[in-house]
Chain A
Amino acid sequence: MIRTAETDTALRGRVRDLYDAYYDTLDDVRLADWPDFFLPDCLYRVIPRENFERGYTLSTMQAESRGMLQDRVTGLTTTQMYAPRYYRRFPGPLRISATADGIRTRHNLLIVQTLIDRQSEIVLSAVCHDRIVDQDGRLYFAERIVVIDSEMIPNSLIYPA
Chain B
Amino acid sequence: MAETSACARNGRVWETGDAGKVPYWVYTDQDVYQRELQRIWYGPHWLYCALECEIPNVGDFKTTTLGERPVIVVRSAEDEISVVENRCAHRGVKFCQARQGHTKDLLCPYHQWAYDLKGNLVGVPFRRGVKRQGGMPRDFDPGNHGLNRLRVEVVNGVVWATFSDETPPFRAYLGEKFWAHYTRVYDGRKLEVLGYNRQHIPANWKLMMENIKDPYHAGLLHVFFVTFGLFRADQKSAVDIDETGRHGILISRKGEQEVNDVTADLRNFQGDLKLADPRILDVVKEFPGEDTVGMITVFPSVILQQQVNSLTSRQIVPKGPAGFDFHWTHWCYADDTPEMKLRRTRQANLFGPAGFVSADDGEIIEMSQQGFSPSDMEEALVMMGGREIAPTDYMVTETAIRSMYRYWREVMGL
Contacts and interface: CB of A to CB of B under 8 A. Distances in A.
Closest 8 CB pairs of A and B: A58-B195, A67-B277, A67-B276, A56-B195, A79-B223, A51-B195, A157-B354, A79-B224
B77 interface: no
B138 interface: no
Interface residues of A, number: 37
B359 interface: yes
Interface stretch (B10-18, B89-97, B199-207, B392-400): B199-207
B268 interface: yes
Interface stretch (A4-12, A25-33, A69-77): A69-77
A24 interface: no
Given A56-B195, A60-B197, A80-B224, A155 B352 contact: no
A78 B363 contact: no
A154 to B, nearest CB: 6
A85 to B, nearest CB: 10
Interface in B314-369: 325, 330, 345-346, 348-349, 352-354, 356, 359-360, 362-364, 366-367
Q: Place the interface of chain B in its size category.
A: 35 or more
Contacts of B224: 75, 79-80
A15 B307 CA distance: 41
A151 B354 CA distance: 12
Nearest to B222: A79
A125 interface: no
B195 A59 contact: yes
Interface string A49-60: 011001011111
Nearest to B228: A79
A70 B273 CA distance: 12
A153 to B, nearest CB: 4
A67 to B, nearest CB: 3
A114 interface: no
A62 B201 contact: no
Given A62-B348, A74-B275, A78-B223, A153 B99 contact: no
Contacts of A59: 195, 345, 348
Main secondary structure of the interface of B (DSSP, over half): mixed
Contact of B196 (A51, A66, A83, A158): A51
Contacts of B193: 56
A68 B277 contact: yes
Given A60-B354, A155-B199, A78 B268 contact: yes
Contacts of B352: 60
Interface of A: 46-48, 50-51, 54, 56-68, 70-71, 74-75, 78-83, 151-158
A23 to B, nearest CB: 19
Contact of A58 (B201, B279, B345, B360): B345
A155 to B, nearest CB: 5
A56 B362 CA distance: 24
B136 interface: no
28 contacts: A46-B354, A47-B195, A48-B196, A48-B197, A56-B194, A56-B195, A57-B195, A60-B352, A68-B276, A71-B276, A71-B277, A74-B275, A75-B356, A78-B223, A78-B268, A79-B227, A79-B273, A79-B356, A80-B359, A82-B359, A82-B363, A83-B363, A154-B200, A155-B199, A155-B200, A155-B201, A156-B362, A157-B353
A152 B199 contact: yes
Contacts of B353: 60, 153, 155-157
Name the residue in B198, B199, B276, B364 with the highest tally of chain A Cβ atoms < 10 Å from its Cβ. B276
Contacts of A156: 199, 353-354, 359, 362-363
Interface string B198-233: 111110000000000000000001111001000000
Contacts of A60: 197, 352-354
A76 to B, nearest CB: 9
Given A60-B352, A71-B275, A157 B194 contact: no
A54 B101 CA distance: 12
A152 B200 contact: yes
B194 A58 contact: yes
Contact of A68 (B197, B201, B280): B280
B148 interface: no
B359 A48 contact: no
Nearest to B100: A50
B270 interface: yes
Contacts of B277: 63-65, 67-68, 70-71
Nearest to B351: A60
Given A60-B354, A62-B345, A78-B268, 16 more contacts: A50-B99, A57-B194, A57-B345, A59-B195, A60-B353, A65-B277, A71-B277, A79-B270, A82-B363, A83-B366, A151-B196, A153-B199, A155-B199, A155-B362, A156-B199, A156-B354
Nearest to A62: B349
B62 to A, nearest CB: 11
Q: Pick from B201, B227, B275, B349 the residue with the most CB of A within 10 Å.
A: B349
Nearest to B192: A56
A70 B99 CA distance: 36
Nearest to A56: B195
